Amino acid sequence: MNSSSLILHGLSSLSVYIESIIIRVLKLSFIVFLLLILISILVVFVKYFSGYAIPGWATNVFGFILNLLITVVLFNLLIILTHLNNRNKPISKPLDFYRSYIKQNP
C-alpha cells in the first residue's frame, strides 16, 4: 500500500463518523468565534480607553479579525449544507447494483 492509498484509506475511514466529526468541528468553530469576538472587544477597548494604542493598528487588526469571523461562519455553513445535502440522497439497495460486482459465468 503506497502513501496515496494509505491516506485515502485513512480519510475514508473517517467518513463513518462524519456526524460526530462535524459536531466537534462546529464546537471548535464556536469557541474560535467567541475568542475572535473577545479579541475585537479588546481591540476597541485598547483603542478608546487606554494610552497604548498605535495610530492605524486597530483598523488593521479589526479588519483581520472580521475576515477571520466571516471565514469561520462561511466554513461552518458550507459544512452543514454539504452534510444535509448528502443526507437527502436516497440510499441504494444492494439489489440494485450487485450485478456490477459479480462476474457472470457463461
Residue labelled with grid coordinates 462476474: 103
Name the pTM for this structure: 0.72
Q: How many CA atoms lie within 13 A of 29 on its CB side?
A: 19
Closest residue by Cα to residue 35 from 27, 54, 19: 27
Tens-binned pLDDT, residue by residue, of the chain (106 aa): 799 999 999 988 888 888 899 999 999 999 999 999 999 999 989 888 888 878 888 889 999 999 999 999 999 999 999 988 888 777 777 777 777 777 766 6
